Amino acid sequence: VWLGAWKGDLVAVKIFSSRDEGAWSHEVETFQIHMLHHPNILQFYASDRKEKPAIAHRDIKSKNVLVKADLSCAIADLGLAVRYEAGHISLPNSNKCGTV
Mark whether 59 is an active-site residue. Answer: yes
Catalytic residue, chosen from 20, 48, 59, 70, is 59
Taking the C-alpha atoms of residue 30 and residue 99, their distance in angstroms, rounded to an integer, is 19
Which bin fits 87, alpha (ψ -120 to 50), beta or left (φ > 0)? left
- Burial (CB < 10 A; 0-12, 13-18, 19+), residue 35, is middle
Q: Which residues are identified as catalytic?
A: 59
